[in-house]
């Protein structure tokens, strides 16, 4: 009988302890216990049938309960177990406290066990259920608290993450990948390293603007380089990639196959749908074919480039999916090429070459509806190249089995190599990089000539105003052209053969069809409406009120002319520039354009800038001044393809930041109230912290709103063209110094290197 009681106690202790301590059964055992209780009272099925019953979700396997019974029975009798289960081994290893509890229970008197036996035997299921229910209620309360706190914790984490992300957002609003925050020591070390690197760059920089200039016409005294880098030779197609003509596979000669691949690579481009492009391509392609191929391939429509196009797409995809290691190998190989061919020695200084690679062969595209689009740009050979270097330098070696067309030693030019391309017959050059001495000197001289124009521009304007009344038609036409170049910053335009280039025009080549005269339009008198294609086939459309004398002369020029006739039929660009040179040494139509662009920037910055504005507002003022110049010079661009999505993302960030600001202000208000009621220093510190949070949110919100305004205003305006080519950089450097704006906000590193001469020599009081 005593053994039976011990067995019951052991079973009760085991089951109760398991319910109390084991997490595996803390959540699901309640249902299982109810099942056991119900089974012990009403279920009278044989055990074999009960064992075969499939388990429901949440039930405890009966075989496991039996094992527990057996374990406790053996412990009560003091008999050793034959083998420990994994479950029991885990209990032995990790739950020492539980064993101590078992030991204390076993040491209690037998009388105490008898007194509790009947109560606990009858209520074992109820006890287990009650104990488990209490634990479940506790877990549920904790879960409910976590659920209640989750939105607040999630919001705080989101605010913190977005604030951290904002710190990583650049001028263009694009976030970089979030990395581990650096320690103070790491940040200080990085700062010191950056400063040291900057100092080394400054020490290595060639301060050519501090040296004495060479006599006029002399560009250098010593020049040595390795020559141009030629693209690799064509590799024939693999055997499984075939070209088909009229449904049959055709093996092309290497020359014809290469040109066919050029066309196949463009099948997804609209160029290959244009008749001009297709006709020019097919004409030049047939020139590369053998006699047999020309005899066979007579219609482009019967050509199937599908497999060639698919091979091209696969290669593009493979390049896109390259691993970091593969990309690094390619990068290192390219860097070796740069180290060998990308530098030259100019007057004992190592200078970077801009375009040292020969352009590979391909199909000419041109801009707009160019009449020569689709023509074959042939492969450039060493025999086409003219090398320029100093006499006492090592002449670059041509590729094996080839020789240069010519080697010159001309120190009055700045190019290192030149050749003539076959499509338009123009000369191509290899020049030094934009931050080199030769390029920098050229820029400096250009802006200095434009500055000189400020001293005589009034007399020039007075002169062409008088010429508007001249008795000679040629003089009147020149005066009106100068008026347009001065007031509208139009390009002069160049003479060109009809049908050789796209139909782009400048001031001197305007035709009658390009302008319309309105006595009154939109409330203005004497309005000229311009509509023509300018450089790079960019449309120039403008409605401009002009002086009455100019309007009358234009009407006179258009008399008895057809739409296709020249407006200035007695004026050429060369004659105009010759006249300008007589007014001021070095003056051309481009100098006028540079002068008007730079003077407009300086005037706009004076009108728009406010020293009390924050940095974001100052940058908006600068970009608006730059935009005024870009509009004057007709520097347009198509809106980026991702513009709408980018603006939507930015607006979402603005809305989110507004919500955070409202919440931060509410928290600040509460903190002020608590600090007012209690003068505790901790509450005052909390209030100051909330103030800083509100201030930071306001600054970030303002920066985002300014950024959105800036993007919207400049979505179709190309600011960089005028900034790099028409605006004297000294104006921007002086403005940055006066407005306390970092130059890095205006020019990136490449641009700062290009204008290093201006950065070094410009003071805050510079005037153009």
pLDDT for the residue 110:
53
Average per-residue pLDDT for the chain = 79
Model confidence at 496, in pLDDT bands (50, 70, 90)? low
Section 683-711 average pLDDT: 83
Q: Which of 16-25, 392-401, 477-486, 522-531 is least confident?
A: 16-25
Residue 156 has pLDDT above 90, yes or no: no
Model confidence at 283, in pLDDT bands (50, 70, 90)? very high
Q: Which of 135-144, 446-455, 701-710 is least confident?
A: 135-144
> What number of residues does the chain have?
768
* Prediction pTM value: 0.67
In our burial notation (b when 16+ CB lie closer than 10 A, e otherwise), range 568-595 reads beebbbebbbebbeeebeebbbbbbbbb
Q: Which residue has the higher pLDDT, 180 or 380?
A: 380
Q: Which residue has the higher pLDDT, 421 or 113?
A: 421
Beta strand ranges found along 219-316 (DSSP E): 223-224, 243-245, 248-250, 303-304
SS3 307: helix
Could you tell me the strand order of the sheet in which 515-521 lies?
Answer: 515-521, 524-533, 539-545
Write the pLDDT tens digit of every residue in 363-420. Answer: 999 887 889 999 999 999 999 999 999 999 999 999 999 999 999 999 999 999 999 9
Q: Within a 13 Å sphere around the CA of 521, how many CA atoms are in the beta-carbon half?
A: 13
Contact 416, 225 (CB under 8 A): yes
Tokens of 388: 């320029």
Q: Which residue has the tokens 């960019």?
A: 538
Model confidence at 689, in pLDDT bands (50, 70, 90)? confident
Write the pLDDT tens digit of every residue in 586-624. Answer: 898 889 999 999 999 999 999 998 888 888 889 989 998
Q: Which residue has the higher pLDDT, 45 or 309?
A: 309
- Which helix (H) or strand (E) segment is 346 a member of? strand 343-346
Section 76-91 average pLDDT: 46
Section 564-570 average pLDDT: 91
pLDDT for the residue 63:
40
pLDDT for the residue 37:
41
Section 174-186 average pLDDT: 61
pLDDT for the residue 105:
45
Q: Which of 93-102, 503-512, 655-664 is least confident?
A: 93-102
Each as own residue / partner, the long-range contacts of residues 472-476 (CB below 8 Å, 24 or more positions apart, any chain) are: 473/570, 474/570, 474/571, 476/553, 476/556
pLDDT for the residue 615:
87
The Cα 601–Cα 617 span in angstroms is 17
Active site residues: 726
Which one-letter DSSP state was computed for residue 506?
Answer: -
Residue 429 has pLDDT above 70, yes or no: yes
The C-alpha angle 268, 274, 277, rounded to 5 degrees, equals 95
The C-alpha angle 161, 162, 167, rounded to 5 degrees, equals 100
SS3 231: coil
Q: Which residue has the higher pLDDT, 518 or 5?
A: 518
Contact 480, 546 (CB under 8 A): no
Q: Which residue has the higher pLDDT, 223 or 204?
A: 223
Q: Which residue has the higher pLDDT, 137 or 439?
A: 439
The Cα 698–Cα 152 span in angstroms is 22
Write the pLDDT tens digit of every residue in 56-73. Answer: 444 444 444 444 444 444
Contact 113, 3 (CB under 8 A): no
Q: Which residue has the tokens 């086939």?
A: 537
Section 536-565 average pLDDT: 90
Write the pLDDT tens digit of every residue in 723-740. Answer: 999 999 999 999 999 999
Residue 652 has pLDDT above 70, yes or no: yes
Q: Which residue has the higher pLDDT, 461 or 6?
A: 461
Q: How far is CA 672 from CA 179, 444, 669, 676, 689, in A?
A: 35, 58, 5, 6, 11
The Cα 753–Cα 731 span in angstroms is 16
pLDDT for the residue 159:
45
Each as own residue / partner, the long-range contacts of residues 186-192 (CB below 8 Å, 24 or more positions apart, any chain) are: none
Please, what are the domains in the chain? 2-140 (no CATH), 224-229+342-433 (2.170.11.10), 243-325 (1.10.10.41), 438-585 (3.90.15.10), 600-761 (1.10.132.10)
pLDDT for the residue 622:
92
Residue 173 has pLDDT above 70, yes or no: no
pLDDT for the residue 306:
93
% of the chain at pLDDT higher than 70: 74
The Cα 705–Cα 700 span in angstroms is 9
The Cα 4–Cα 8 span in angstroms is 6
Write the pLDDT tens digit of every residue in 84-119. Answer: 444 444 444 444 444 454 544 444 455 555 555 554
pLDDT for the residue 141:
58
For the chain, report the end-to-end CA distance as a whole number of angstroms.
114
pLDDT for the residue 38:
41
């Amino acid at each position: 009988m005593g053994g039976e009681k011990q067995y019951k106690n052991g079973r009760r202790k085991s089951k109760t302890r398991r319910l109390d301590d084991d997490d595996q059964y803390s959540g699901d055992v309640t249902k299982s216990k109810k099942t056991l209780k119900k089974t012990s009272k009403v279920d009278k099925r044989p055990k074999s049938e009960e064992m075969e019953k499939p388990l429901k979700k949440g039930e405890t396997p009966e075989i496991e309960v039996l094992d527990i019974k057996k374990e406790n029975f053996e412990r009560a009798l003091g008999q050793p177990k034959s083998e420990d289960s994994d479950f029991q081994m885990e209990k032995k290893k990790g739950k020492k406290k539980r064993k101590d509890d078992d030991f204390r229970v076993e040491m209690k008197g037998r009388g105490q066990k008898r007194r509790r036996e009947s109560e606990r035997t009858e209520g074992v299921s109820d006890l287990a259920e009650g104990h488990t229910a209490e634990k479940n209620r506790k877990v549920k309360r904790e879960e409910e608290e976590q659920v209640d706190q989750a939105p607040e914790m999630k919001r705080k984490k989101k605010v913190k993450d977005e604030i951290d992300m904002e710190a990583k957002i650049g001028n263009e609003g694009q976030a970089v990948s979030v990395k581990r925050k650096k320690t103070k020591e790491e940040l200080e070390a990085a700062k010191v390293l950056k400063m040291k690197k900057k100092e080394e760059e400054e020490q290595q920089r060639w301060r050519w603007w501090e040296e004495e200039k060479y006599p006029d016409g002399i560009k250098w005294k010593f020049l040595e380089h390795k020559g141009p880098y030629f693209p690799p030779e064509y590799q024939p197609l693999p055997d499984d990639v075939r070209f088909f003509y009229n449904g049959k596979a055709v093996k092309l000669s290497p020359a014809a196959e290469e040109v066919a691949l050029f066309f196949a690579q463009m099948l997804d481009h609209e160029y290959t749908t244009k008749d001009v492009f297709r006709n020019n391509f097919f004409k030049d392609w047939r020139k590369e074919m053998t006699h047999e191929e020309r005899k066979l391939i007579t219609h482009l429509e019967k050509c199937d480039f599908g497999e060639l196009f698919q091979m091209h797409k696969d290669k593009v995809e493979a390049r896109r999916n390259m691993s970091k290691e593969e990309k690094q190998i390619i990068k290192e190989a390219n860097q070796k090429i740069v180290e060998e061919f990308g530098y030259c020695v100019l007057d004992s200084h190592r200078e970077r070459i801009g375009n040292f690679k020969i352009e590979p062969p391909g199909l000419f595209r041109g801009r707009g509806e160019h009449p020569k689009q689709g023509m074959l740009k042939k492969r450039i050979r060493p025999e086409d190249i003219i090398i320029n270097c100093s006499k006492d330098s090592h002449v670059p070696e041509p590729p094996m089995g080839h020789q240069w067309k010519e080697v010159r030693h001309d120190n009055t030019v700045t190019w290192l190599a030149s050749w003539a391309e076959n499509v338009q017959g123009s000369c191509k050059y290899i020049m030094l990089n934009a931050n080199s001495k030769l390029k920098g000197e050229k820029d400096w001289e250009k802006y200095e000539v434009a500055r000189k124009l400020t001293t005589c521009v009034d007399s020039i304007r007075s002169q062409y105003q008088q010429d508007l009344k001249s008795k000679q038609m040629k003089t009147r036409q020149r005066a009106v052209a100068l008026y347009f170049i001065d007031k509208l910053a139009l390009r002069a335009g160049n003479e060109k053969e009809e049908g050789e280039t796209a139909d782009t025009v400048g001031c001197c080549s305007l035709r009658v069809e390009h302008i319309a005269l309105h006595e009154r339009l939109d409330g203005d008198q004497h309005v000229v409406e311009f509509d023509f294609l300018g450089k790079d086939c960019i449309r120039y459309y403008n409605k401009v009120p002009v002086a009455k004398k100019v309007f009358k002369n234009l009407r006179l020029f258009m008399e008895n002319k057809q739409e296709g006739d020249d407006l200035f039929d007695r004026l050429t660009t060369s004659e105009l520039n010759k006249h300008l040179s007589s007014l001021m040494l070095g003056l051309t139509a481009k100098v006028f354009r540079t002068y008007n662009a730079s003077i407009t920037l300086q005037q706009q910055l004076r009108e728009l800038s406010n020293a009390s504005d924050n940095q974001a507002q100052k940058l908006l003022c600068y970009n608006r001044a730059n935009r005024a110049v870009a509009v004057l010079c007709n520097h347009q661009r198509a809106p980026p393809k991702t513009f709408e999505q980018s603006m939507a993302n930015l607006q979402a960030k603005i809305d989110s930041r507004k919500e955070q600001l409202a919440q931060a202000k509410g928290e600040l208000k509460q903190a002020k109230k608590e600090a007012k009621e209690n003068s505790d220093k901790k509450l005052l510190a909390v209030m100051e912290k909330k103030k800083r949070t509100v201030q930071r949110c306001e600054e970030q919100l303002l920066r985002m709103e300014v950024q959105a305004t800036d993007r919207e205003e400049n979505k179709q305006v190309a600011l960089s063209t005028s900034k790099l080519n028409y605006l004297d950089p000294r104006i921007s450097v002086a403005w940055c110094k006066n407005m306390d704006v970092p130059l890095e906000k205006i020019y990136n590193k490449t641009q700062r290197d290009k204008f290093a001469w201006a950065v070094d020599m410009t003071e805050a009081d510079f005037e153009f």
